[in-house]
């Protein structure tokens, strides 16, 4: 699938800021599940940015700006071709050892009750991860079934998916699902990491977050406990980390609240 | 270890003088009455004039104190030093290899030689350092190894200090003062120089400049500021090696590089000898509330545009819980047996060991895993029953927060006390530089516990310093 992404981030820094410094994780990698066809990151100071690879293997930018004024906007655009691998990413090169992702963090924690039933499970890691994904869904709320008016269905064709926007806003954020899954997996000694990325979501914000768990056989496998599926070709990976704190799309000094929205659609 | 009579570095058990101290012993005998007291007073004046002070956290009096200096030098024979420095070199090489491995393939963890959780879930482990290639593969460039001596041929390493070890300015000033106070004593012995330290520090720092820095890399010393207990040392070292002393606000990043504000405009900085702890180094990557650091400096480091000395995350190699594995680390990376001993360390999370520790606490030393400077520790034999009880409770409450070691009978050296000469316990912190080569300054800082019988040598706990002599053949 070829996916077009249009991602805007905006922030306003405190008045009188002398020098602002930004850390950007806004460049997706090409890999087994996706090929980046075109990509651009525009914003003040980008031309002069320091480019480097961070500790998790992400392509990062260090941007600085002298005496920023008013609203700052960073505009990210590009096209990515994706492949459905049933969530399997494998072992991309240039990444740290999977064991790193057994480190516990404050953000990715799970209550014992959530993972304890799996502690002595004889199932393989993959089955445990699928079961964990289901448990996290039960814990935080499952995605609503598309409500299909029965009569129309009986009529055949013309099925209409009701707008579930309102209901889904009631659910915790995708990051919370990912964190709970990651915390539980790590408690079971399974390396698990946080993924921030995009998902084709016509009309809705396409910015999304999910998790990846490491299986000795398959390598990294994606799990999206918020949607209760393994990522498909509707997903684009942007950056990874131990948790949301270590994989922010944009971090700034001075600290400012970042508003962002991504239009993500199939082309 | 732990015998009742401590090893005295000057006198043999039969009262005869040990060979390295022969010249000193004769010199002491020649001093007129009150000669040492006068010298002591002169020393005070010299140090006040030099402005060497340190701050004691939690003390009620003025924050600045002159560290007590003892006018009788401590002496190490050439052959003793050769043995010690070989052991130190082995240790710092192995620990740097360990750091490289931990932040890359983690082979030592895969091999099961160190428990994975001890490293990966350690607060001192810095995930942001993964995969970074530091210049020459060196992480810990400036190291102060704490060593104690318990016998003629028996040395133990207490701590490796791979973060931002301090005290080297005392080593240099003690020597300078001693040369002023007793020039005649230097004429009688061949003492290895320590004055080369600042030059060696500069060479070491230059040797790890990033590629493209040019022939004369620009070096800055980054200090937390005048309120830091070691501020004097930061400015002293910058001055001695001709580098710029900077606070966080004096540096900034631009285009992924680090610059220093100067009166003639921004100047690119290649190597930063930072004396700010990891957590406060860069609010963009580490603690966002830090006002001391430089936003973006870590990213500039990752981009290969500046070298941070020491590298962030070196604390994982001198963590007190990792310390017990150092002999293992030396074997794993160098295929050699450790030349210097580790102090046996009891693990309080082990039920049997804990029970034994609680039973015998009056004989043991208890240290906080993340403590330093002699804070949060207890020396059993010199503590009260109430203190024993307090630490029993602490260990029971948080067994993983403490390590416990036998009380070592630290060697003693003759020390000027109340116009008399009496033995006092000492330790030794040699300073090591690692860059294009390993450079160990002969000697180091000798700290002396001025209270009779005390084994705590930290300056914050009433310790003093001595000039440390390594004799040349």
Asked if B233 and B223 touch (Cβ cutoff 8 Å), the reply is no
How far away is chain A from the Cα of B411, in angstroms, using its nearest Cα? 42
A126 three-class SS? helix
Distances (CA, A) of B329 to A267, B318, B447: 55, 12, 28
The domain ranges of chain A are 2-266
Pick the CATH number of B345-406 from 1.10.238.10, 1.10.490.20, 3.30.1490.270, 3.40.190.290: 3.30.1490.270
For B338, other C-beta atoms within 10 Å of its C-beta total 18
Indicate the residue of A62, A94, A252 with minimum beta-carbon distance to B299. A62
Which long-range CB contacts under 8 A does A13-17 form with residues at least 24 apart?
A13/A68, A13/A72, A13/A252, A13/A254, A13/A256, A14/A254, A14/A256, A17/A67, A17/A68, A17/A254
SS3 A205: coil
Residue A146, classified by CB atoms within 10 Å of its CB into exposed (0-12), middle (13-18) or buried (19+), is exposed
pLDDT at A225 over 70: yes
A250-253: strand order across its sheet? A50-53, A59-66, A19-27, A250-253
Q: Which A positions 116-155 lie with beta carbon below 8 A of chain B? A: none
CB pair distance less than 8 Å for A50 and B257 = yes
DSSP state of B16: P
Q: Residue B370 and residue B318: Cα distance in Å, rounded?
A: 10
Model confidence pLDDT, tens digit, residues B3-27 = 468 999 999 999 999 999 999 999 9
pLDDT, averaged across chain A: 90
pLDDT at site B67: 82
Q: What are phi and psi of A203, to 5 degrees?
A: 90, -30
- State pLDDT tens for residues A86-99: 999 999 998 999 99
- Residue A205's pLDDT band, with cuts at 50, 70 and 90, is confident
* Nearest-10 crossing angle of helices A125-140, A174-187: 140
Cα–Cα distance measured from residue B123 to residue B104, given in angstroms and rounded to the nearest whole number: 18
Query: What pLDDT is stored for residue B54 in this prediction?
Result: 62
Q: Each residue of A140-175: pLDDT tens digit? A: 999 876 544 444 444 444 434 344 444 445 689 999
Q: Do A64 and B302 touch (CB under 8 A)?
A: no
Q: Which of B104, B127, B255 sits opposite A50 (nearest CB)?
A: B255
Cα dist from B415 to B73, B291, B448, whole Å:
8, 43, 8
Residues of chain A in contact with residue B294, where contact means CB-CB under 8 angstroms, are none
Token reading at B235: 């400015």
**Structural element, H or E, at residue B253:** strand B251-254
DSSP string, B178-238: HHHH-HHHHHHS-BPP-TTHHHHHHHHHHHTPPTT--SS--EEEE---TTSTTHHHHHHHH
pTM: 0.92
Q: What burial class does residue B423 get, using C-beta atoms within 10 Å of its C-beta: 0-12 exposed, 13-18 middle, 19+ buried?
A: middle
CA closest to A65 among chain B residues: B254
Beta bridge partners of B309: B273
Chain B residues with CB-CB distance to A253 below 8 A: 283-284, 288, 295-296
Whether B339 contacts B145, CB under 8 Å:
no
Low-confidence ranges of chain B (pLDDT < 70): 1-4, 52-65, 371-374
Closest CA to A206 of A33, A8, A39: A8
* A52 closest CB neighbour out of B106, B129, B302: B302
For A2-266, CATH number out of 3.10.620.30, 3.40.50.300, 3.10.20.30, 1.10.3720.10 equals 3.10.620.30
**DSSP element (H, E) containing A79:** strand A71-82
Tokens in use for B178? 């001693």
SS3 content of chain B, % helix, strand, coil (to 5): 35, 25, 40
3-class SS of residue A139: helix
Half-sphere exposure of B65 (CA within 13 A, CB side): 19
In Å, how far from its chain's centre is CA B116? 27
Residue of A64, A189, A248, A252 to mutate for B, most B C-beta atoms under 10 A: A64
**Which residues on neighbouring strands pair with residue B156, listed in sequence order?**
B148, B341
Give the residue, A48 or B376, on which the prediction is more confident.
A48
Identify the pLDDT of residue A161.
Answer: 38
Q: Does A91 touch chain B (CB under 8 A)?
A: no
pLDDT single digits (tens) A105-126:
999 999 999 999 999 999 999 9
Q: What angle do CA A136, A246, B317 make, to 5 degrees?
A: 110
Q: How far is CA A72 from CA A65, A68, A251, in A?
A: 10, 8, 13
Half-sphere exposure (CA, 13 Å, Cβ side) for B164? 24
B126: distance to nearest CA of chain A, Å?
A: 9
Q: How far apart, in whole angstroms, are the C-alpha atoms of residue B300 and residue B304? A: 6
> How far is the CA of B155 from the CAs of A108, A182, A213, B150, in angstroms?
45, 46, 47, 6
Environment class of A212 (CB within 10 Å of its CB; exposed 0-12, middle 13-18, buried 19+): buried
Instruction: Give the separation between CA A5 and CA A3, rounded to whole angstroms.
Output: 6
CB contact under 8 A, A54 and B302: yes
CA distance A101 to A120: 21
pLDDT given at position B63: 56
Q: Are strands B64-65 and A219-223 parallel, antiparallel or unpaired?
A: unpaired
Task: Determine the residue among B250, B266, B288, B299 to mutate to test chain A binding: the one whose Cβ has the most chain A Cβ atoms within 10 Å.
Answer: B299
Among A209, A137, A133, A136, which Cα is nearest to A174's? A209
Say if CB B455 and CB B412 are below 8 A apart: no
> How confident is the model at residue A136, as a pLDDT?
97
Distance CA B323, CA B44 (A): 37
Amino acid A163: pLDDT? 41
Mind telling me how many Å the CA of B320 is from chain A's nearest CA?
A: 19
């Amino acid at each position: 699938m070829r996916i077009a992404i249009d991602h805007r981030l905006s922030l306003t820094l405190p008045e009188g800021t002398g020098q602002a410094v930004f850390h950007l994780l806004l460049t997706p990698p090409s890999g087994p599940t996706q090929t980046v066809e075109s990509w651009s990151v525009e914003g003040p100071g980008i031309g002069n940015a320091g480019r480097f690879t961070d500790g998790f293997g992400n392509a990062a930018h260090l941007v600085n700006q002298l005496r920023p004024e008013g609203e700052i906007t960073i505009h990210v655009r590009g096209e990515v071709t994706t492949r459905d691998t049933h969530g399997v990413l494998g072992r991309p090169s240039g990444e740290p050892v999977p064991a790193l992702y057994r480190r516990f963090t404050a953000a990715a924690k799970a209550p014992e009750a959530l993972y304890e039933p799996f502690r002595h499970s004889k199932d393989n890691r993959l089955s445990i991860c699928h079961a964990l994904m289901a448990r996290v869904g039960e814990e935080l709320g499952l995605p609503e079934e598309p409500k299909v008016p029965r009569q129309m269905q009986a009529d055949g064709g013309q099925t209409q998916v009701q707008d579930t926007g309102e209901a889904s806003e009631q659910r915790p954020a995708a990051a919370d699902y990912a964190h709970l899954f990651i915390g539980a997996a790590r408690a079971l000694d399974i390396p698990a990491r946080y993924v921030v990325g995009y998902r084709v979501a016509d009309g809705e914000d396409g910015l999304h977050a999910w998790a990846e768990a490491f299986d000795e056989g398959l390598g990294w496998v994606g799990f999206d406990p918020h949607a209760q599926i393994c990522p498909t070709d509707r997903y684009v990976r942007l950056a990874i980390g131990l948790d949301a704190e270590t994989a922010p799309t944009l971090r700034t000094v001075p600290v400012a609240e970042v508003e962002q929205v991504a239009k993500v659609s199939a082309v | 270890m732990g015998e009742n009579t401590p090893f005295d570095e000057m006198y043999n058990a039969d009262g005869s003088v040990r060979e390295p101290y022969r010249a000193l012993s004769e010199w002491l005998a020649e001093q007129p009455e009150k000669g040492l007291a006068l010298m002591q007073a002169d020393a005070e004046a010299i140090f006040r004039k030099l402005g060497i002070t340190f701050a004691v956290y939690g003390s009620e009096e003025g924050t600045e104190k002159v560290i007590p200096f003892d006018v009788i030098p401590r002496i190490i024979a050439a052959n003793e030093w050769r043995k010690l420095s070989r052991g130190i070199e082995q240790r710092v090489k192995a620990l740097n290899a360990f750091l490289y491995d931990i932040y890359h393939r983690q082979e030592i963890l895969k091999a099961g030689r160190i428990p994975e959780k001890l490293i990966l879930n350690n607060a001192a482990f810095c995930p942001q350092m993964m995969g970074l290639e530091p210049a020459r593969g060196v992480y810990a460039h400036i190291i102060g190894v704490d060593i104690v001596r318990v016998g003629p041929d028996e040395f133990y390493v207490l701590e490796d200090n791979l973060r931002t070890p301090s005290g080297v300015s005392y080593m240099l000033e003690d020597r300078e003062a001693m040369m002023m106070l007793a020039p005649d004593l230097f004429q009688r012995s061949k003492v290895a120089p320590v004055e080369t330290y600042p030059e060696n520090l500069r060479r070491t720092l230059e040797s790890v400049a990033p590629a493209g820095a040019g022939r004369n890399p620009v070096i800055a010393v980054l200090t937390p500021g005048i309120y830091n207990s070691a501020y004097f040392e930061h400015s002293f070292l910058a001055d001695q090696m001709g580098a710029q002393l900077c606070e966080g606000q004096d540096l900034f990043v631009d285009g992924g590089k680090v610059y220093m504000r100067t009166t003639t405009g921004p100047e690119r900085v290649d190597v930063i000898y930072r004396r700010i702890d990891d957590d406060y180094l860069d609010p963009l990557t580490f603690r966002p509330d830090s006002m001391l650091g430089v936003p973006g400096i870590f990213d500039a480091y990752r981009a290969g545009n500046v070298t941070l000395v020491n590298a962030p995350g070196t604390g994982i190699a001198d963590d007190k819980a990792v310390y017990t594995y150092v002999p293992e680390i030396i074997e794993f990376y160098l295929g050699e047996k450790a030349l210097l001993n580790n102090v046996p360390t009891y693990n309080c999370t082990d039920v049997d060991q804990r029970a034994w520790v609680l039973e015998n606490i009056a004989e043991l030393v208890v240290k906080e895993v993340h403590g330093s400077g002699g804070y949060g520790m207890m020396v059993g034999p010199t503590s009260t029953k109430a203190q024993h009880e307090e630490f029993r409770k602490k260990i029971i409450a948080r067994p993983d927060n403490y390590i416990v070691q036998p009380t070592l009978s630290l060697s003693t050296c003759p020390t000027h006390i109340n116009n008399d000469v009496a033995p006092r316990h000492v330790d030794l912190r040699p300073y090591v530089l690692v860059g294009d080569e390993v450079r160990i300054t002969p000697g180091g800082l000798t700290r002396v516990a001025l209270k009779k019988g005390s084994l705590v040598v930290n300056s914050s706990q009433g310790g003093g310093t001595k000039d440390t002599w390594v004799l040349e053949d």
